[in-house]
Structure 1
Amino acid sequence: MSEIADRDAPLMSALQPLDRAGQVTQALASFISRAELKAGDRLPAERQLMDALGVGRSTIREVVGRFQALGVMETRKGSGTYLLKPVSVDTVHMPLSFESGNLKENLLQSLEVRRGLELEVSVLAARRRTAEDLVTIEAALDEMERVHQLEGTSGPQDRVFHLAIYDAAHNPLFRQLLEQMRGVFTQFFENPVDRKDFAKRSYPFHRTLFNAIAAQDTEAARRETLKILDVVEEDIKDMAP
């Protein structure tokens, strides 16, 4: 580890305050390549990365989480983060994006893709979920409902709930696809139409979706997911052109 730490300074430098997560992703991929780290090597400690790149802990953890979702890193409790596969700047995929500047059109197009993914994910989650998965999903749901009752909206918590269901499907490819669509999917959880009640009618269906997954009722899970996405589609279509 000391050997890697000694090489941190010349290979990485502090970043400008722009797109920090994107910059850290590129910088970390570049460091791994230039330091010639191989599968099984341990990455510099979180604090070292924070100091070398001039960013906060949350940014480092977000970027490591992205790499974990792509299946190239693994964090071992009490030990550190390890490389599972070779990484370079060339292997960091560019995220999917739209050329159109029409928000309504963008949301409807990305919803079509989201519908296809989440219907399948909900079925697999109902079929494969573990007791630990249920604890994670319900905790996210409880927090989502708590924030919603206090503030009338809960975008970030809603996102955490859906991500927990993706994980319960136990197919890493779904999370990898989601990472590539992070930008377009995040729009759904950031009040895209500047309406506090956006998709509000879908909240009761999140609890019934959880119940279906807990009961391992695949058809009910698919049905409740479709109800959520149908509400989102209706609210998008109600947007001004």
Structure 2
Amino acid sequence: MNPFSDLDDATSVYSFPGKGRHVLDALTGYIKRHNLRPGDRLPTEREFSMVLKIARSSIREAFSQLSALGIIESRAGSGTYLLRHVSPDTIYMPLSLSVDNLAEMLLMTLEVRRGIEIEASMAAARRRTQSDITRMRAALEAIERTHHSEEGSGPADFAFHMAIYDAAHNPLFRQLLEQMRDRFGRFWERPFGRHDFASRSFPFHRTLFDAIVAGDAEAAAAETRKILDVVEEDIRDMGP
């Protein structure tokens, strides 16, 4: 289905001014109405703005929210794509945390991440499929290739952990952890200006992978704790 084919007749349904939830409802209503599926390209901000009679800045803000939630993805030179099913009935759980000290804020999120990530690794050990294992292995091998490079293994490390969350086959794991990471995106590119941040956790990625492949949930939990312990120690050592 072409998502641009009948933008004009959507005007009668969504031609109202609005912000916040109203804009999200309009966007997700259009997605449902046109039966768009993950992988489909969406109309542009400008096209949505014209059809919905809503300021382009409000559309942009709604796109940003949906992107942070991992529902859509903007691809340079290509457009914006739907990543996951969404409708006006979708429940959103945005995160809000106001702390002036970055290290303190990171430690707060780490406390929450511990429970989520440990459970995710245990679920992955119980539910992983061969396809999940293939994705995790590819990301792990990328980490091992780039670990000692000047650029570091950040993107590969992120892909590895995302593959674990997906292997848990519970979409809330990935969504919650992506939101936490997205809020500190710039920080995680080069934590505290150090390319070697949490590098001591490197060997535990292989042992975590092995535990998940073996279906050993308790071992997966233990290896995840080791990784998070290193992250916590480095935040405390490098923070002001």
TM-score (norm 1): 0.70
Trace 1:203-214 onto structure 2 (pairs within 5 A): 203-214=202-213
- Paired residues of 2:71 and 2:82 also in contact (CA < 8 A): no
Letter of the 1:6 counterpart: D
SS of 1:149 mapped into structure 2: coil
Residue 183 (structure 1) aligns with: 182
The change in CA–CA distance for 1:161 and 1:118 in structure 2 (over 3 A counts) is same
- 1: CA distance, partners of 2:103 / 2:3: 51
Q: Give the aligned length.
A: 208
- Paired residues of 1:41 and 1:82 also in contact (CA < 8 A): no
Trace 1:148-163 onto structure 2 (pairs within 5 A): 148-151=147-150, 153-163=152-162
Residue 114 (structure 1) aligns with: 113
Displacement of 1:240 in angstroms is 3.8
- Paired residues of 1:121 and 1:166 also in contact (CA < 8 A): yes
Unpaired segments ≥5 residues, structure 2: 12-21, 49-55, 57-62, 74-80
Letter of the 1:112 counterpart: E
Deviates more, 1:126-135 or 1:37-46: 37-46
Residue 192 (structure 1) aligns with: 191
Trace 1:29-68 onto structure 2 (pairs within 5 A): 30-33=26-29, 35=30, 37-38=31-32, 41-42=35-36, 45-46=40-41, 48-49=43-44, 52=47, 63=67, 66-67=70-71
Letter of the 2:201 counterpart: S
Displacement of 1:8 in angstroms is 6.5
Displacement of 1:178 in angstroms is 2.6
TM-score (norm 2): 0.70
Displacement of 1:120 in angstroms is 0.8
- 2: CA distance, partners of 1:149 / 1:120: 30
The change in CA–CA distance for 1:135 and 1:176 in structure 2 (over 3 A counts) is same
- 1: CA distance, partners of 2:8 / 2:191: 40
User: CA RMSD for the aligned pairs?
Assistant: 3.8
- 1: CA distance, partners of 2:68 / 2:151: 31
- Paired residues of 1:42 and 1:83 also in contact (CA < 8 A): no
- 1: CA distance, partners of 2:190 / 2:9: 40
Displacement of 1:184 in angstroms is 4.0
The change in CA–CA distance for 1:47 and 1:222 in structure 2 (over 3 A counts) is closer
Unpaired segments ≥5 residues, structure 1: 12-25, 70-79
- 2: CA distance, partners of 1:28 / 1:172: 20
1:87 aligns with 2:88: yes
The change in CA–CA distance for 1:153 and 1:6 in structure 2 (over 3 A counts) is same
Letter of the 2:35 counterpart: D
- Paired residues of 2:28 and 2:86 also in contact (CA < 8 A): no
- 1: CA distance, partners of 2:205 / 2:83: 35
Residue 236 (structure 1) aligns with: 235
